[in-house]
Structure 1
Amino acid sequence: MDFSQEEESSNKSLTKFESMLKTNNVLFFDSNEFENIIHHYLNQGKVALAKKAIKLGLEQHPTSTNLKLFRVEIFVFENDLPKANALLNELYVLEPSNDEIYIQKANILSKEDKHQEAIDVLKRALSLAEEISDIYSLIGMEYLFLDQFDLARDNFMKCLEANPEDYASLYNIVYCFDFLDKNEEAVEYLNIYLDKNPYCEVAWHQLGRQYYELKDFEKALSAYDFAIISDDTFIGAYIEKGKVLEKLKRYNEAIENYSITLSLEDPTSFALLRIASCHEKLGNNDLAVQYYYKTVHEDPLLDKGWIAITKYYSKQRNYQKALYYINKAINIDSENILYWKYYAKINHRLNFLEESELGYKRILELGNYELETWLIRGDILSQLGEQEAALSNFIQAAEFYPENAEIEFRLAGLYFQLLEIEKATYHLRNGLRFDAEQIIILEELFPEVFESLLVKKIISR
């Protein structure tokens, strides 16, 4: 029977089974038919229908080991590991040389975070199985769980040797090389693989990525070109080639490659954003703006899009437009710290001090405690005449940044303004002890305090 006949037979079995469910008439299926039906439902994520098929299958074929193994799979999926183990033990007594029993046992051990035991069981399965590539892949995954990347890579390599078209294993091999910072070794491995599989677009794509990491951009371009020759609809290759061309400042060519991806499938916000950025670098401002608009329209949740258009208008000194777009971004995601940073900075630039202070306050509320945020917010509060609030801000900042002269001199200046001389003197001396050169802060922010006789006397000591 050829493939098309097998598929037609499988479809007939499925139609017959679903018809039976609707009519409640019990029809007979051989065990292979049940296996195909269950496999189909599991692949579709239709667990309830798979369970029905297993139940009916075992009623008609109560001794079928394969159907019982499907039941084990369901138990594992539902995290009912005791039942899964019990059924596997029964099956092991009946068929101790069935490699699927070991594979399912390893699956359970993996679920229990017993990864080394799972590996030991899978190695036993290797000696029993006819098809070994999937088992090597499973062993590789277990080694990944143990962070043993060398061993994981070696097993994925064995999997790829057994099945050269297992691209998932190829990706995992490269992932291991990446994690181990072995880009040159990855290049060597991929070139050997490509000698045997010269039209594998996935391998060419991964080779391009390795050359990119090694900053050998011309070789990266060649690799991506071969990936495109192997499959001229391979979107990932066009995207990565575009990134390399940007690095080489060949922006028009980069735009061409990103644009090809737009014609191959629905536009992606990443490609639109890169096209916009390239046009901006070429000075094509109208086109840049058009593509920035398209980016945020395509994916309103992409913060890079909103930040890019905000930065674009900020560079043009069109701060009102920049503020307009960062406000739109905040309306979509009010928890994004980056948005609030731009909101605070742009309002500060426009001298909208109250709004800017609100932005810095929100940044702190969201858990970002950078020193600059505390300092700028406190300075703005001081400018607004909110000395008490500014003090509170700097006192909190000192908890995060103790022995910081920038904070201490600001506290000294504020306390002097409030005529709390003892506290002011204490913080002034702290500032001088921590970093005397930062006294310029007092001179710039509190000039009348800096010029006072008391301060001059303390500084001169």
Structure 2
Amino acid sequence: MNQDFPFLNEDFEDLRELLQQFENLRSGKSHSFLDEDSFEQIIDYYDEHDELPTAMQAAEIGIAQFPYSSTLLLKKANLLIETKKYREALELLEKAALLDRNDINLYILQTDVYLALNQHQKAAAVLEEQIEQFTGEDRTELLLELADVYDDWEEFEKVFDCLKMALEHEPNSEEALHKICFWTEFTGRNEESIRLHTDIINEFPYNQLAWFNLGTAYQGLKLYEKAIDAYQYAIAIDEKFDYAYRNMGDAYIRLHKYADAIEVLQKHLEIAKPEDVIYEAIGHCYQRQKKFTQARYYYRKASHLSPTDDKLYYKIAVAYMMEANWDHAAKSLLSAIKINKQKAEYNIALGECFLELGKNKDALMHFMNAVKTRPKSATAWQALIKGLYTSGFLEEALTQLTQAEEKAGRKPIFVYYRAAILIAMGKAKEGIIHLETALQMAPRLVKKIVELDPALLQHGNVLELISRYRRKR
């Protein structure tokens, strides 16, 4: 490779010669004169190779020869900071300031010291006092540094303010554009971000990062159509802008435009490294289109990249359940539970599969697991009571119903279930009283009692009572 770039060989040879001259100087041998720039290179070399004692020695020898070099003083101060000698570093920085106050590294190093000492107010003050003294890239760099100080200080609104100022000063600063995207979402200042990036685009219409940030701000306000328009401009400028495709896919999903979402997410896969979240999102889109085979295909591709993600196996199972393929669904749920035994949702779904497969004992075991995992979950108790009812254990269902009301509260669904159980036990009069109470509490939930046992509608009193409430509604 160096044969293709001969200047690399030349640079390496020059550096090696400098290092040899420095070694000769250290050991007292004859050596060529080393100028200020040479000492800077030598210090940087040893610093980059984590040979801090040698770097420090080079700095001290250099300063002895060039006592008025602010650059060498800053190099030594940086080494002192790396070795956590903060007080010594500050003293050296004060000396460097007397020689040259126009080097922004002076203020950045002072900031580093104050941050290390957990003195955020002093760190911020150093930068705030100097920002107006600098122009061009130096001012942008100080504003970005100040944003980092406020981040460390957890003054998050001020982080956004600094980044906004940096972009008002230098609209094409990539670092500021990248950072403000996150902080817009974090602080929720989407309207300001829209105004800022609109101004940038008016001046620099081919700035794809500004278009992208405009899209994310619109997306933060749930203005998905406008967000998509902005992302499309970003992609028109840079057709390999993978994050624009990713965000556009999310916006299409929010709009329930699943075919469009699949198209842009597939494009993301073509230009970027495959990611489990992208495969999962495509699977979700196919599932919402009721294309369950394709949904499972992409969920599996996601699980190959993230084999310990239990929710992917659960999603595969749900896709099977939608097709009433209970056996395959149960196998996927067992895989999910093997990874995460504490998820009540998985145990409930597996219990439902086993009920459909006629394995009632296994179903009840998993419903019990769900209740143990989430004793205050009305959904878990509902699944257990339904399982007991379906299995014919009416007395136990009534007992567990009392437990459910103690743990999860007296929910309308529990009153409906109590009515159903009592009627099924032959206690129709008592059951009808509870059914009327349930209808008064939540008339829309009456469908739950029908789902539990359609045969209940054969009872004249039940049908008459339900009909009466429907007429009232």
State if a TM-score over 0.5 links the two structures. yes
RMSD over aligned Cα atoms: 4.5
CA deviation vs aligned residue, 1:222-263 (integer Å, no higher than 9, x gap):
211211122111111122223333445544443332222222
Greater CA drift, 315-324 or 349-358: 349-358
Equivalent of residue 421 in structure 2, options 442, 445, 449: 445
Cα gap change, 1:8 to 1:123, in 2 (>3 Å): farther
Which residue in the other structure is 1:123 paired with? 128
CA deviation vs aligned residue, 1:325-352 (integer Å, no higher than 9, x gap):
1222333444556544543454455454
Cα separation, 2, equivalents of 1:135 and 1:159: 9
Greater CA drift, 357-366 or 118-127: 357-366
The alignment partner of 1:267 has SS state of: coil
1:230 and 2:237 aligned: yes
Cα separation, 2, equivalents of 1:278 and 1:455: 44
Cα separation, 1, equivalents of 2:149 and 2:288: 46
Cα gap change, 1:308 to 1:89, in 2 (>3 Å): same
Which residue in the other structure is 2:86 paired with? 84
Cα gap change, 1:394 to 1:18, in 2 (>3 Å): farther
CA deviation vs aligned residue, 1:95-154 (integer Å, no higher than 9, x gap):
354653443343343345543332123223436666222221222233345554443322
Cα separation, 1, equivalents of 2:187 and 2:160: 10
Which residue in the other structure is 1:32 paired with? 40
Equivalent residue runs for 1:103-182 within 5 Å? 103-126=108-131, 131-145=138-152, 148-182=155-189
Equivalent of residue 256 in structure 1, options 242, 260, 263: 263
Cα separation, 2, equivalents of 1:330 and 1:438: 27
Which residue in the other structure is 1:208 paired with? 215
Query: In 1, are the aligned partners of 2:56 and 2:76 still within 8 Å (CA)?
Result: no
Cα separation, 2, equivalents of 1:34 and 1:384: 85
Q: Aligned letter for 1:235?
A: D
Which residue in the other structure is 2:55 paired with? 54
Query: In 1, are the aligned partners of 2:90 and 2:113 still within 8 Å (CA)?
Result: no
Cα gap change, 1:438 to 1:357, in 2 (>3 Å): closer
How far residue 313 of structure 1 moved from its aligned partner, in angstroms, is 0.9
Query: In 1, are the aligned partners of 2:382 and 2:414 still within 8 Å (CA)?
Result: no
Q: Aligned letter for 2:97?
A: E
Which residue in the other structure is 1:318 paired with? 325
How far residue 199 of structure 1 moved from its aligned partner, in angstroms, is 1.9
Cα gap change, 1:395 to 1:277, in 2 (>3 Å): closer
The alignment partner of 2:171 has SS state of: coil
Query: In 2, are the aligned partners of 1:156 and 1:169 still within 8 Å (CA)?
Result: yes
Equivalent of residue 243 in structure 1, options 233, 243, 250: 250
Query: In 1, are the aligned partners of 2:311 and 2:336 still within 8 Å (CA)?
Result: no
Query: In 1, are the aligned partners of 2:131 and 2:139 still within 8 Å (CA)?
Result: yes
1:267 and 2:274 aligned: yes
How far residue 16 of structure 1 moved from its aligned partner, in angstroms, is 7.4
The alignment partner of 1:259 has SS state of: helix
Cα separation, 2, equivalents of 1:385 and 1:296: 39
How far residue 66 of structure 1 moved from its aligned partner, in angstroms, is 2.6
Cα separation, 1, equivalents of 2:9 and 2:198: 40
Cα gap change, 1:223 to 1:453, in 2 (>3 Å): closer
Greater CA drift, 6-15 or 31-40: 6-15
Equivalent of residue 313 in structure 2, options 306, 309, 318: 306
Query: In 2, are the aligned partners of 1:58 and 1:68 still within 8 Å (CA)?
Result: yes
- Alignment size in residue pairs: 407
Cα separation, 2, equivalents of 1:19 and 1:365: 72
Larger radius of gyration: 2
Cα separation, 2, equivalents of 1:328 and 1:17: 62
TM-score, normalization: structure 1? 0.70
Which residue in the other structure is 1:296 paired with? 303
Cα gap change, 1:368 to 1:72, in 2 (>3 Å): farther
Cα gap change, 1:390 to 1:61, in 2 (>3 Å): farther
Query: In 1, are the aligned partners of 2:419 and 2:431 still within 8 Å (CA)?
Result: no
Cα separation, 2, equivalents of 1:9 and 1:124: 43
Cα gap change, 1:11 to 1:259, in 2 (>3 Å): farther
Query: In 1, are the aligned partners of 2:401 and 2:418 still within 8 Å (CA)?
Result: no
Cα separation, 1, equivalents of 2:235 and 2:414: 58
Greater CA drift, 352-361 or 225-234: 352-361
Query: In 2, are the aligned partners of 1:242 and 1:255 still within 8 Å (CA)?
Result: yes
Query: In 2, are the aligned partners of 1:10 and 1:33 still within 8 Å (CA)?
Result: no
Runs of 5+ in structure 2 lacking a partner?
A: 65-71, 434-473
Cα separation, 2, equivalents of 1:264 and 1:359: 43
Cα gap change, 1:66 to 1:112, in 2 (>3 Å): closer
How far residue 19 of structure 1 moved from its aligned partner, in angstroms, is 10
The alignment partner of 2:380 has SS state of: helix
Greater CA drift, 447-456 or 235-244: 447-456
Cα separation, 2, equivalents of 1:440 and 1:174: 50
Q: Aligned letter for 1:58?
A: A
The alignment partner of 1:95 has SS state of: helix
CA deviation vs aligned residue, 1:294-345 (integer Å, no higher than 9, x gap):
2222322344532322221111111211111122233344455654454345
Cα separation, 2, equivalents of 1:163 and 1:379: 64
Cα separation, 1, equivalents of 2:200 and 2:187: 20
Runs of 5+ in structure 1 lacking a partner?
A: 42-48, 407-434
Cα gap change, 1:54 to 1:283, in 2 (>3 Å): same
The alignment partner of 1:294 has SS state of: helix
How far residue 192 of structure 1 moved from its aligned partner, in angstroms, is 0.6
Give the percent of matched residue pairs that are identical in Structure 1 and Structure 2.
19
1:370 and 2:377 aligned: yes
